Amino acid sequence: MNQDPTDTSSISFTALYTGHVWYANGMSAPAFHSTAGSVLYHALMPFEFIGKQLAGGDIKTFLLQRHLIIDHLVEKAIKEDGVEQILEIACGMSPRGTRLCEKFPHIKYIEADLPGMAAKKHRLLTNENTLSTQHQVVPLNIFADGSSDALEVVMEKGFDSSKPVLVITEGLVNYFSLSTIDQFWQRLQLALKQYPTGIYLTDNYPLFHDHPLHRTMKILGGMLGTLSRSQVSFHFHSDLSAQRHFEALGFDSATIHNPVNYYSELEIPRTRGNPFVRVIEARTGGSR
């Protein structure tokens, strides 16, 4: 396991797998397809079959649930909160920036990741001729402080502080212990308070004490942590504890979105029983 809890360099490989999930489900451009992502995707199929039998849903199901709910909440923020500035951190091979810029050409969308992944994404989008002053890719390290790739520097340089802003992290926070990722969340809420309305969307995988697969999920989390050389953690044991945690960090409000509540509203895959994934919406400033 990585000895530095704030070192994010070892988890970028997961972007290849998730990127292929988007591609395989018709949500991504052919340019985002990679041989390595395809290999990972097919290699995990036996484990996904087992997971679906045990937990009622496989990895792809949870990935699609979180991705589509985040998409829905972003579009809602654009239409209802007047959001025109979006930062997607740890963007990897996410096709969200391309899709949203096509649908809402007036927004400014900054995709950000560690230098290697950011450079790769920049090349791919340049080849697709989709980058512009409104759609950018930049390096960002969530634990950097004061350097050009620090959260605060990227936001100050890229956005207008007189307008609402929305920040996304998807597939990132569970690779760190709660005490480690709290360092980022505390800085983020301070950064968001520089704008009239700040919205943060993230996925999270809680581990409920009463879930029949509590022990199994802890074992699987440990295996993923070993593979990614990171501190994979399940941060919360209830939706209420997650809400209270974000409010204690300084966010003005926090809403926990359960995929179950969107089954009749969105075309998302369903799981048997209580889904393992949640989408957290934390806000500063203006409210609906």
Domains defined along the chain, listed by start? 9-285 (3.40.50.150)
pLDDT band (50, 70, 90) for residue 193: very high
Higher pLDDT, 249 or 30: 249
pLDDT band (50, 70, 90) for residue 104: very high
Higher pLDDT, 194 or 226: 194
Q: Decide if 174 contacts 143 (C-beta within 8 A).
A: no
Mean pLDDT (the chain) is: 82
Q: For a pLDDT cut of 70, what percent of the chain falls above it?
A: 70
Instruction: Look at residue 263 and tell me whether its pLDDT is greater than 90.
Output: yes
**pTM of the entire predicted model:** 0.84
Taking residues 271-281, report their average pLDDT.
88
The predicted-structure confidence for 159-176, as pLDDT tens digits, reads as follows: 999 999 999 999 899 889
Q: Decide if 68 contacts 93 (C-beta within 8 A).
A: no
Instruction: Look at residue 16 and tell me whether its pLDDT is greater than 90.
Output: no
Q: Decide if 156 contacts 183 (C-beta within 8 A).
A: no
Instruction: Look at residue 131 and tell me whether its pLDDT is greater than 60.
Output: yes
Least confident residue range of 3-7, 69-73, 134-138, 235-239:
3-7
Q: For a pLDDT cut of 90, what percent of the chain falls above it?
A: 56
The pLDDT assigned to 28 comes to 66
pLDDT band (50, 70, 90) for residue 183: very high
The pLDDT assigned to 1 comes to 43
The pLDDT assigned to 275 comes to 85
pLDDT band (50, 70, 90) for residue 286: low
The predicted-structure confidence for 62-76, as pLDDT tens digits, reads as follows: 888 999 999 999 999
Instruction: Look at residue 237 and tell me whether its pLDDT is greater than 70.
Output: yes
Torsion of CA 160, 154, 206, 39, to 10 degrees: 120
Torsion of CA 212, 237, 202, 218, to 10 degrees: -50
The pLDDT assigned to 205 comes to 87
What residue type is assigned to position 71 of the chain? Answer: D
The predicted-structure confidence for 132-163, as pLDDT tens digits, reads as follows: 999 999 999 999 999 999 999 999 999 999 99
The pLDDT assigned to 159 comes to 98
